[in-house]
């Protein structure tokens, strides 16, 4: 079967879905092909912009961090956003403007969906995680909004709540950890405590999984016993805020939280580890957004090959266990993610991009095609600079088109977005979904220009 | 009167066996271990007991090992598995050496309850193990026993305790007091309380494995060792049905053994002068093993490597011969010959011989103490081996998967029921914490209460936490919360425990970092760095481990 499109997007994480939506909402005939789940569905419920500029010695607001990257990093995807059309120089205002535009756009598009989010670019947010630690981020899903827990409140009293037999969140330890952090806070939360409630999707109080609880709550709401356990504990502790496991429903978390709020507290979910219900919400909302824009989506298909002519990719070939498809498109966006998504592979003999066999580079655009992955790791597992291996990806020109080691554009109609890109380490920078969003947004626009022959 | 009759240094297979023997014979015994039980060499070994393929030239040692297998089957049957093994042959010359082995092995087969060696045609061999290279000309079939080295050491230590010994982990020997050519005491440093303590003793038994020379030096005595390092590569599941032994690129024998839920590929043998604490497997060792095994199992590289491990064999100091020619036997040094009375050291030996080594050293100690004793370590069962366990019935009674109960039984024997009983008061403790293995919360709590683990890594040795394909990605923080809960640790220590375990797992993952391992690590970093933010919160207080230091 042969199919013809204006734009083919390979990959259905945040980068691909945003790019696809932009294109299809402005009338391009768009198809998105994805083989499965990527990092987007693992994410915690927070949308990081740039939480920690590794080179900076002190914390910055996302906007300040963005402005600073332009000065110290020439290969960061955010910096590429800031290259001006006119003089090809990096303008920090342009970086900030592009980020603002794409955030605003996404906020509008997710409005009313389960991954609706809140936050502000000029304020760093310290969101509480399942460990009870806090992480510097920028936006969180509405159900994770901590309200006035640390701001504008003199007597915050936080109650951590966990579910018996649900091992993914231990409220007692989270409370202990968070309470210790409060010692260093300017305006500490006055009291931190914890309790457990019972929610048993299958009638047994053990081996309870996050997704099962969420589905159960979607289906039957918060059980009465759980609500009364909560009420009792809120009364006993005098809690003003309640930190919940991030499992309060996929579709209906807002409703469940409202019910809890009626007990006179401000409830919110903590950031999740995978398997992540907030990650599922995000994935589901982005899917809905894309489909709403009129784009076509093919799931369970892996792009395994392509045809090219005259420096252009003319066709891509996708395969499922049952069939093979040939898709011709005027332009293609590569949004296949990094290692989790499958966009980049690392073997004993080096790294390569998995579909077009594109050249790969590291943080500073040094070649990595024949580097053994181990060489890009540090001896210490969890540390400030992170592992260089996670900044490996494809290098791009100012329009986000992959380039080779000679800095030549490989295919004039192929653009790359999201974590398949090189030049940044989202794990330590805390910038994953932010880069995915903004580069998806920008490559969507660039591909459109290319198709209209305006690039 | 001295505080102790005997102080044993090192809680590897040798030291725990010695402590058990001494305690069972009524000697007042202290076992000192600077780290955890089974934290060094023994924890990096394959756990194969007996064999003989490698030391056919030393029939007295083959005899001894054969007897030891019989003893182990009596005292520790619950932690032993029998594995069939194929030795495929690609050339005619392989056949003749095989014949020799078959004869020696078969002589001792009956007493060990295994069949004599069989010669199999290529077709029959491939029926048993389809992944064998079709070009083999024949293979040998035989059976070997494998013991869980961690559980063995822990059970020996617990049994020593049950017989009155003091067992102190995280206590490092830092000096030996010698007066008039006689041992009178030792000084140890407690790494948890950061305190030093001096105790008096008549005898010190130095079972410090590769550190035996260092320990002897505290008494100004001398132990010569030939240190030889060896690496294993661990694959994510049972990639072969049976064990496979084959010739490596340099003609040595290497093996591929299904082990628990994984497969072990090993081992290398390289003389070493490095500090054993800093060693990790090298790229050369990994490729040596893969290329060697590829000749008989051509698909070996398709398997996913989940980690590597590196250990140091404390061999008898036979020099100027290849490592393979060094005796696999052990020697006991009575340092009286160096004018130090009361100090006994080991060189050489193997896991399979640990009980035998202990008996010999304890005999010597008893003689020095002039007491009449009788060794019973080969007769009395280790904890958990008292009776059979009905896995099916327990699974039904407690509503836990059969698989989980069977894995529990393989570590615990008769303790299985005791652990499951805990879930009567705490049904939520039936929750699976490590899904790869699997391990349920009740076993973790039980272990924390009764088996003195200090860290998650210590828990791994006791319950196999985090040893499967995900290499602790998903269980670390869950188990850390349980440990912190039981021990009432601070949030700070809870986070440090997480980092500590991740770091220990990384030690083995990093040398073979490639392919799916990179994906797995992106998830782990996503959790603990990107979301958990431990890279920012703890970076500055974390102390580097020996193998993480550049100096
Ligand atoms: C555990 C974890 C937690 C995280 N938490 C956060 C967080 O809290 N905040 C934050 O901002 N970021 C977070 N991140 C980072 C963030 O999730 C990623 O950076 C981001 O989702 C990357 O998006 P992407 O669209 O580039 O790739 P992905 O989401 O990985 O999507 C790639 C897509 O490409 C598809 N694909 C790949 N190859 C092919 C092919 N050949 N054919 C067809 N389809 C293909 C995949 O199936 C997948 O759909 C986290 C990451 C992890 C691992
Ligand atoms: C790769 C490899 C594979 C092997 N495979 C097998 C096999 O399949 N079958 C077999 O039978 N044998 C095998 N062996 C050999 C076997 O593992 C060892 O011979 C045996 O386990 C050594 O045990 P040990 O107790 O003497 O030493 P160790 O396990 O090293 O114990 C010594 C202990 O002393 C402690 N210590 C050191 N200094 C001090 C101090 N100052 N104070 C307190 N404590 C101290 C250490 O922390 C350590 O725990 C293998 C060895 C290797 C390296």
pLDDT score of B52: 65
DSSP-derived letter for residue B320 is: S
CB contact under 8 A, B514 and A340: no
Q: What ligand 1 atom has the least distance to the C-alpha of B522?
A: 53
Q: Residues of B with CB below 8 A from A44's CB?
A: 530-531
Give the residue from B326, B322, B297 showing the smallest Cα distance to B314. Answer: B326
Instruction: Note whether B428 contacts A165, CB cutoff 8 Å.
Output: yes
- Nearest CA, atom 44, ligand 1: A34
Taking CA atoms only, the protein residue closest to ligand 2 atom 26 is: B209
What is the C-alpha separation between B260 and A329, in angstroms, rounded? Answer: 50
| Ligand 2 binding pocket includes B233 (Cβ within 6 Å) | no
Kindly state the average pLDDT of the residues A177-188. Answer: 90
CATH 3.40.50.150 for domain B4-41+150-223+328-369: no
Contact B523 A42 (CB under 8 A): yes
Mean pLDDT of A164-182: 97
pLDDT in tens, A236-283: 999 999 999 999 999 999 999 999 999 999 999 999 999 999 999 999
Burial code of B31-64, b = ≥16 C-beta within 10 A, e = fewer? bbbbbbbbbbbbbbbbbbbbbbbbbbeeeebbeb
pLDDT at A81 > cutoff 70: yes
Q: At how many degrees (to 10) do helices B491-509 and B516-525 cross?
A: 170
Q: What pLDDT score does B51 carry?
A: 65
Tell which atom from ligand 2 comes closest to the C-alpha of B153. Answer: 25
Q: Where are the alpha helices (DSSP H) in B129-176?
A: 149-162
Interchain contact A273–B (C-beta under 8 A): yes
CB spacing of A273 vs B527 below 8 angstroms:
yes
What is the sign, positive or negative, of the torsion defined by CA atoms of A286, A290, A293, A294?
A: negative
CA A185 – CA A188 distance, rounded (Å): 5
| Alpha carbon nearest to ligand 2 atom 31, residue | B12
Mean pLDDT of B258-274: 94
* pLDDT value, residue A54: 77
Query: What band does A347 get if pLDDT is binned at 50, 70 and 90?
Result: very high
Let me know the angle formed at the C-alpha of B217 by B212 and B220, rounded to the nearest 5 degrees: 140
- Number of neighbouring beta carbons within 10 Å of residue B247: 20
Instruction: Write down the CATH number for the domain with range B83-144+226-312.
Output: 3.30.9.10
Q: What is the mean pLDDT of residues A215-221?
A: 97
pLDDT given for residue B169 in this prediction: 98
Does the structure show a pLDDT above 90 at B550? no
The band of B49, judged by pLDDT with boundaries at 50, 70 and 90, is: very high
Candidate from A8, A9, A12, A13 with most ligand 1 atoms within 8 A of CB, to mutate: A13
Q: How many residue pairs bridge chain A and chain B with CB atoms within 8 Å of each other?
A: 178
Percent of the residues in chain A that have a pLDDT greater than 90, as a whole number: 90
**Residue boundaries of the structural domains of chain B:** 4-41+150-223+328-369, 83-144+226-312, 431-541
Please report which residue ranges of B242-390 form alpha helices under DSSP H: 283-294, 354-369
What local confidence, expressed as pLDDT, does residue B53 receive? 65
Q: In this predicted structure, what is the pLDDT of residue B102?
A: 86
Per-residue pLDDT band at B538 (split at 50, 70, 90): confident
Please state the rounded mean pLDDT for residues B443-472. 97
Q: Which residue of B has its CA nearest to A175?
A: B491
In this predicted structure, the answer to whether residue A56 has a pLDDT above a threshold of 80 is no
Percent of chain B with pLDDT over 70: 99
Cα separations (Å) of A388 from A337, A376, B269, B473?
16, 5, 32, 20
Q: Return the residue of B nearest to A345 by Cα.
A: B515
B540 confidence band (pLDDT: 50, 70, 90): confident
Cβ contact, residue pair A206, B544, below 8 Å: no
Integer Cα distance of B191 and B34 in angstroms: 8
pLDDT band at B350 (very low <50, low <70, confident <90, very high): very high
pLDDT above 70 (res B551): no
- Cα of B193 to ligand 2 centre, how many Å? 26
- Show the domains of chain A with their CATH numbers: 2-112+281-451 (3.50.50.60), 130-271 (3.40.50)
A1 has pLDDT over 70:
no
pTM recorded for the entire structure: 0.97
Chain A residues lying within 8 Å of B512, measured CB to CB:
374
Chain position carrying tokens 């598995």:
B81
- Structure confidence by residue, pLDDT tens digits, B300-343: 999 999 999 999 999 999 999 999 899 999 999 999 999 999 99
- Residue B417, pLDDT above cutoff 90: yes
pLDDT of residue B57: 82
Q: d(Cα B446, Cα A7) in Å, to the nearest integer?
A: 59
pLDDT digits 0-9 by tens, A117-151:
999 999 989 999 999 999 999 999 999 999 999 88
Lay out the sheet containing A191-197: strands in order across.
Answer: A191-197, A157-163, A241-244, A266-269
pLDDT tens sequence across B66-119? 999 999 999 999 999 999 999 999 888 777 777 788 888 888 898 889 999 999
Residues ≥6 apart with Cβ < 8 Å to A39: A13, A337, A338, A340, A341, A419, A432, B522, B526
pLDDT in tens, A356-368: 999 999 999 999 9
Lowest mean pLDDT of A84-98, A263-277, A298-312, A412-426, name the range: A84-98
Which of A156-165, A420-429, B11-20, B539-548 bottoms out in mean pLDDT, i.e. has the lowest?
B539-548
First CA to last CA distance, chain A:
31
HSE-up of A264 (CA within 13 Å, CB side)?
9
Six-digit token string for B73: 């089957």
8 A C-beta contact, residue A282 and residue A264: no
Within 8 A of A180 by CB-CB distance, chain B residues are 490-492
Q: What's the pLDDT tens digit per position in B168-208? A: 999 999 999 999 999 999 999 999 999 999 999 999 999 99
Give percent helix, percent strand, percent coil of chain A, each to the nearest 5.
35, 25, 45
Place of tokens 């070996």: B300
Percent of chain B topping pLDDT 90:
90
A346 touches chain B (CB under 8 A): yes
């Amino acid at each position: 079967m042969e199919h013809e499109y204006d734009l083919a997007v390979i990959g259905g994480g945040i980068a691909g879905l945003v790019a696809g939506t932009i294109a299809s909402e402005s009338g391009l005939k768009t198809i998105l092909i994805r083989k499965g789940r990527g990092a987007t569905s693992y994410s915690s419920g927070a949308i990081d912009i740039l939480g920690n500029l590794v080179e900076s010695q002190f914390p910055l607001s996302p906007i300040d961090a963005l402005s600073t990257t332009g000065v110290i990093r020439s290969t960061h995807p955010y910096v590429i956003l800031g290259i001006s059309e006119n003089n090809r120089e990096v303008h920090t205002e342009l970086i900030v403007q592009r980020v603002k535009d794409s955030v605003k756009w996404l906020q509008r598009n997710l409005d009313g969906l389960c991954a609706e989010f809140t936050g502000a670019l000029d304020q760093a947010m310290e969101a509480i995680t399942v460990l009870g630690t806090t992480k510097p981020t920028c936006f969180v899903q509405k159900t994770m909004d901590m309200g006035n827990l640390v701001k504008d409140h003199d007597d915050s009293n936080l109650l951590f709540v966990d579910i018996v037999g649900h091992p993914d969140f231990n409220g007692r330890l989270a409370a202990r950890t968070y309470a210790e952090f409060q010692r260093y806070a300017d305006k500490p939360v006055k009291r931190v405590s914890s309790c457990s409630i019972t929610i048993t999707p299958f009638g047994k109080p053990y081996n309870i999984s996050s997704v099962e609880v969420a589905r159960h709550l979607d289906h039957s709401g918060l059980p009465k016993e759980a609500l009364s356990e909560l009420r009792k504990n809120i009364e006993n502790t005098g809690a003003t805020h309640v930190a919940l496991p991030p499992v309060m429903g996929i579709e209906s978390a807002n409703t469940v939280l409202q019910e809890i709020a009626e007990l006179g507290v401000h409830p919110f979910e903590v950031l999740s580890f995978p398997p992540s219900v907030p990650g599922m919400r995000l994935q589901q909302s982005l899917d809905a957004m894309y489909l709403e824009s009129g784009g076509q989506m093919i799931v369970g298909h892996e792009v395994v090959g392509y045809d090219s002519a005259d420096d252009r990719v003319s066709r891509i070939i996708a395969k499922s266990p049952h069939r093979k498809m040939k898709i011709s498109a005027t332009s293609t966006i590569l949004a296949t993610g990094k290692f989790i998504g499958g966009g980049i592979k690392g073997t004993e003999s080096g790294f390569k991009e998995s579909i077009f066999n594109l050249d790969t580079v590291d943080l500073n655009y040094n070649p990595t095609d024949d580097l053994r992955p181990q060489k890009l790791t540090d001896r210490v597992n969890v540390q400030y600079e992170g592992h260089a291996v996670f900044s490996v990806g494809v290098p791009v020109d100012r329009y986000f088109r992959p380039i080779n080691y000679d800095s030549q554009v490989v295919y004039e109609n192929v653009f790359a977005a999201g974590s398949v890109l090189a030049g940044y380490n989202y794990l330590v920078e805390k910038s994953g979904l932010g880069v995915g969003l903004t580069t998806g947004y920008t490559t969507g626009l660039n591909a459109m220009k290319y198709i209209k022959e305006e690039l | 009167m001295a505080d102790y009759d005997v102080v044993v240094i090192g809680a590897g297979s040798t030291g725990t066996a010695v402590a058990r023997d001494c305690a069972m014979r009524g000697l007042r015994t202290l076992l000192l271990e600077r780290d955890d039980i089974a934290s060094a060499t023994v924890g990096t070994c394959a756990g194969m007991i007996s064999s003989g393929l490698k030391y056919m030239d030393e029939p007295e040692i083959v005899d001894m090992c054969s007897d030891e297998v019989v003893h182990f089957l009596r005292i520790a049957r619950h932690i032993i598995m029998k594995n069939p093994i194929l030795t495929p042959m690609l050339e005619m010359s392989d056949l003749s050496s095989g014949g020799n082995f078959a004869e020696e092995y078969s002589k001792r087969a009956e007493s060990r309850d295994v069949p004599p060696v069989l010669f199999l045609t290529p077709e029959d061999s491939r029926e048993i193990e389809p992944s064998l290279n079709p070009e083999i000309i024949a293979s040998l079939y035989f059976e070997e026993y494998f013991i869980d080295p961690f559980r063995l050491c822990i059970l020996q230590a617990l049994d020593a305790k049950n017989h009155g010994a003091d067992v102190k982990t995280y206590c490092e020997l830092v000096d030996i007091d010698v007066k008039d050519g006689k041992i009178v005491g030792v000084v140890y440093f407690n790494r948890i309380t950061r305190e030093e303590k001096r105790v008096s003793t008549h005898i010190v038994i130095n079972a410090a494995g590769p550190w035996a020379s260092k320990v002897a030096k505290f008494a100004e005595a001398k132990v010569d060792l030939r240190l030889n390092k060896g690496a294993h590569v661990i694959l994510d599941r049972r990639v072969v049905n049976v064990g496979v032994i084959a010739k490596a690129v340099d003609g040595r024998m290497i093996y591929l053994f299904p082990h628990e839920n994984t497969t072990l590929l090993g081992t290398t043998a390289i003389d070493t002068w490095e500090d054993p604490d800093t060693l990790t497997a090298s790229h050369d060792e990994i490729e040596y093993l893969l290329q060697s095994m590829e000749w008989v199992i051509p698909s070996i590289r398709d398997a996913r490597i989940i980690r590597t491990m590196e250990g140091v064999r404390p061999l008898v100091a036979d020099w100027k011969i290849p490592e393979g020619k060094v005796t696999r036997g052990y020697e006991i040094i009575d340092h009286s010959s160096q004018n130090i009375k009361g100090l006994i050291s080991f060189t050489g030996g193997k896991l399979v011989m640990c009980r035998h080594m202990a008996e010999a050293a304890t005999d010597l100690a008893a003689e020095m103490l002039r007491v009449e004793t009788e060794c019973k370590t080969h007769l009395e069962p280790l904890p958990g081996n008292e009776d059979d366990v009905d896995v099916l019935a327990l699974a039904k009674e407690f509503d836990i998967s059969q698989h989980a109960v069977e894995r529990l039984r393989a570590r615990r024997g008769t303790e299985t029921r005791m652990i499951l009983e805990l879930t009567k008061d705490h049904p939520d403790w039936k929750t699976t914490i490590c899904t790869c293995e699997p391990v349920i919360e009740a076993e973790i709590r039980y272990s924390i209460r009764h088996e003195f683990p200090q860290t998650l890594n210590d828990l791994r040795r006791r319950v196999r936490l985090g040893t499967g394909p995900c290499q602790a990605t998903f269980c670390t923080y869950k188990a850390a919360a349980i440990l912190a809960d039981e021990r009432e640790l601070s949030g700070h220590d809870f986070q440090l425990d997480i980092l500590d375990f991740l770091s220990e797992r990384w030690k083995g993952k990093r040398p073979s970092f490639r392919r799916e391992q990179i994906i797995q690590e992106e998830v782990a970093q996503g959790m603990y760095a990107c979301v958990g933010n431990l890279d920012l919160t703890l970076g500055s207080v974390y102390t580097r481990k020996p193998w993480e230091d550049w100096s």
